[in-house]
A and B are shown apart, each in its own frame.
Chain A
Amino acid sequence: MEWINLAYLVSAVLFILGLKGLGSPRSAPRGNLLGAVGMLIAIVATLLDKGVMSYTWIIAGIIVGSAIGAIMAKRVQMTQMPEMVAIFNGFGGAASLVVALSTHIIVSGGSMSWAIALVLSALIGAVTLTGSVVAWAKLQGYADKAMKLTNQGLWRAGLVLAILVLAILFIGNPVGGGIYLFALSVVALGLGILLVIAIGGADMPVVIALLNSYSGLAAAATGFVLNNYGLIISGALVGASGIILSQIMCKAMNRSLGSVLFGGAMVSDEQMASIPGKEFYEGKVKSCGAEEVAMLLENAQKVIFAPGYGLAVAQAQHVTQELAELLGKRGVDVKFAIHPVAGRMPGHMNVLLAEAEVPYDKLVEMDHINPEFSQTDVTIVLGANDVTNPAARDDPSSPIYGMPILEVDKSRTVIVIKRSLSPGFAGIPNQLFINDNTLMLFGDAKAVLQNLNRAVMEL
């Protein structure tokens, strides 16, 4: 075995150990460091290898890329992590695409398996690139609705067919067929746009996880092109990670991967027509003030917060933690119930709350917290909607029936802090808001919580 492969083996082992470190928050920072060391070893080994002759372009690329990456990592807000991961997925795909094209210029021709790997590297890389850019744009708030072209399916089939034909043409003539590879890349760029643009904003967590996986698979395909085991192993790890996360997200929304990718919106048009309007809430909603809630909290022994992304939109994480601390000091048992899709990407809500210095052992996942609601005095729902709707559990006619929810309605009293009665992503009214044990506290989450904190302090 050549020494360079030994170096790649060491870095692959370090990546695996690094991912293993992510098994608990305590060991995670060290795990991340191990991963970084692994990457450094891989880069240095490649630079010292005899295949590399001129360093000008390499050093320029390293300086430019490192600077941009460092600035992005320092500046990004935690609420924008989904955008950052989305665009990084895109960069990963782009790198694989560009390496494939460049490799073909340098080597121009090889075995059939080499040509197939080259096609896959360019194809997956290109789809990941444009798909991620569209996902990023949707997360930024541009075009966040599902957009359907007329004859969406036909277009998709056409592009896939074109890619197949170009792939066969290229694989049949890998030396002179560079033009086919280039054309295939262009068509694949179009396919990436087409695939993601039809998916609604609510499904973006699944899409980002899936594109995360693709960026790894693209790297693995590049590994097959270069016959480089370092790339193959690392790409496979990332590919597996993304697939697992997209499965988890699908399960949390009670959707299949196929329906997310090709089925369009979560609620069909026919179901939309039968959804009740404002009359659903008429005369059945009880609202209350901060003082009333403070009095409820005074007598509470166990309080659970159920945060949703609305909490982060209102920038209310810190004031929520203040309330949790106030209650904790009064001897109240306080926990946070985290639904898997509470944020805009897997684990997002946990990061947002960790930033607000909520201790991570207070964050409890859905399956573990659900049995606790029945022994809870007060549950405070903050900016969460569909994931607390009891209809998903009780009403087989509901469009979201079967979606796992936080069973907040089982606690003695539920306080819902919300601006208005507007629906969540699913576009349906929430049964929870008209339940007998629910009190609505209307207003901007941050302002409401500040009032509430004052009222609790005056107790």
Chain B
Amino acid sequence: MEALIIFVLAVFIGYEVITKVPPTLHTPLMSGSNAISGIAVIGAIICAGAIEVPWLANLLGFVAVALAMINIVGGFMVTDRMLQMFKRKKG
């Protein structure tokens, strides 16, 4: 129940914060959200690092860590690349 409350409140915070992002930055917003959804890496690490479990669980954990890290590293880096272009010049 506590988790559900936190989820709903977080959706509202997200809604408030994100409606303030100007359309100019909507593409960086999406690649940035890609990076944030890489937070699944937390779950992946727990699976990959568990001991005395079937090897399949660790293997799946490894795959999930790799996928999530692609999102995290790729997402933050490409977002930064775009944002530097916006910073570079202003009228």
B44–chain A nearest beta-carbon distance, Å:
5
Select one of B46, B50, B84, B86 contacting A46, CB under 8 A: B46
Bound form: Cα–Cα A61–B73 in Å: 12
B72 CB to nearest A CB, Å: 6
| A contact residues around B6 at 8 Å (CB) | 229, 232-233
- Say if the beta carbon of A65 comes within 8 Å of chain B: yes
CB within 8 A of B27: which of A16, A18, A345? A345
Complex interface: chain B residues within 8 A of A55 (CB): 49
Q: Is the CB of B35 within 8 A of A36?
A: yes
* Chain B: CB-nearest residue to A344: B27
Instruction: Tell me if A99 counts as interface (CB < 8 A to partner B).
Output: yes
**Segment at the interface with B among A89-97, A263-271, A303-311:** A89-97
For B67, the chain A residues whose CB sits under 8 A away are: 65, 91-92, 94-95, 98
The chain A residue sitting closest to B81, CB to CB, is A73
In the complex, which residues of chain B have a beta carbon less than 8 angstroms from the beta carbon of A411? none
Cα–Cα, bound, A239→B7 (Å): 10
A98 touches B22 (CB 8 A): no
Of the residues B70, B78, B88, contact of A91 by C-beta under 8 Å: B70
Closest chain B CB from A106 CB (angstroms)? 5
Q: Is the CB of A32 within 8 A of B60?
A: no
Known: A102-B47, A232-B7. A91 touches B71 (CB 8 A): yes
Interface 0/1 of B15-32, CB less than 8 Å to A: 101111111111111111
Find chain B residues with CB under 8 A from A112 CB.
none
A103 on the B face (CB < 8 A): yes
Q: Are A70 and B77 in contact (CB under 8 A)?
A: yes
Query: Which residues of chain B are near A219, meaning CB under 8 Å?
Result: 37, 39-40
Map CB proximity to A onto B32-72 as digits: 1 under 8 Å, 0 otherwise: 11111111111111111111011011111111111111111
Given known A76-B78, A222-B40, A239-B14, contact A65–B65 (CB-CB < 8 A) = yes
CA distance A95 to B42 in the complex (A): 10
Residue among B10, B39, B69, B80 with the highest chain A CB neighbour number at 10 A: B39
Q: Mark A224-258, 1 if CB is under 8 A from B, else 0.
A: 11111111111111111110110010000000000
Task: For chain B, give the interface size range.
Answer: 35 or more
Closest-CB distance, B79 to chain A (whole angstroms): 5
A2 to B9, CA, bound (A): 21
Residue A175, interface by CB 8 Å: no
Establish whether residues B34 and A89, one from each chain, have CB atoms under 8 Å apart when the complex forms: yes
Q: Which of A49-95 contact B (CB under 8 A)?
A: 51-55, 57-58, 60-62, 64-66, 68-70, 72-74, 76, 78, 81, 84-85, 88-89, 91-92, 94-95
Q: Are B37 and A347 in contact (CB under 8 A)?
A: no
Q: What's the least CB distance linking B38 to chain A, in Å?
A: 7
When distances are taken between beta carbons in the complex, the residues of chain B under 8 Å from A29 are: 80, 83-84, 87
Assess whether B30 is in contact with A226, with CB atoms less than 8 Å apart: no
Whether A294 sits at the interface, judged by CB under 8 Å, is no
Distance (whole angstroms) from the CB of A62 to the closest CB of chain B: 5
In the bound complex, do residue B40 and residue A96 qualify as a contact, i.e. CB atoms below 8 Å apart?
Answer: yes
* Minimum distance in angstroms from A232 CB to a CB of chain B: 5
Cβ–Cβ contact A92 & B25, under 8 A: no
Which of B25, B63, B77, B84 meets A69, CB within 8 Å?
B77
Q: Is B78 a contact of A54 with CB atoms below 8 Å?
A: no
Partner of B91, one of A43, A220, A244, A361: A361
- Chain A residues with Cβ under 8 A from B90's Cβ? 25, 359-361
Which residues of chain A (1-57) have a CB below 8 Å from chain B?
8, 12, 15-16, 18-20, 22-26, 28-29, 32-33, 35-36, 39, 42-43, 46-47, 51-55, 57
Contact A245 B26 (CB under 8 A): yes
Q: List, in ascending order, chain B residues with CB within 8 A of A70's CB.
A: 73-74, 77
Interface residues of A (CB under 8 A from B): 8, 12, 15-16, 18-20, 22-26, 28-29, 32-33, 35-36, 39, 42-43, 46-47, 51-55, 57-58, 60-62, 64-66, 68-70, 72-74, 76, 78, 81, 84-85, 88-89, 91-92, 94-96, 98-99, 101-103, 105-106, 208-209, 212, 215-216, 218-220, 222-242, 244-245, 248, 338, 340, 343, 345-348, 350-351, 354-355, 357-363, 365
Beyond A69-B75, A106-B50, A224-B7, 13 additional contacts (C-beta under 8 Å) are A24-B22, A42-B42, A57-B49, A81-B78, A95-B68, A96-B40, A98-B44, A98-B63, A99-B60, A101-B60, A235-B7, A350-B27, A365-B23
- Residue pairs across A and B with Cβ atoms less than 8 A apart, 23 shown, are A19-B29, A25-B83, A28-B25, A32-B76, A46-B41, A64-B66, A73-B75, A84-B78, A88-B31, A89-B37, A92-B40, A98-B44, A98-B67, A99-B44, A102-B56, A219-B39, A228-B42, A231-B42, A237-B33, A240-B10, A346-B23, A357-B85, A360-B24
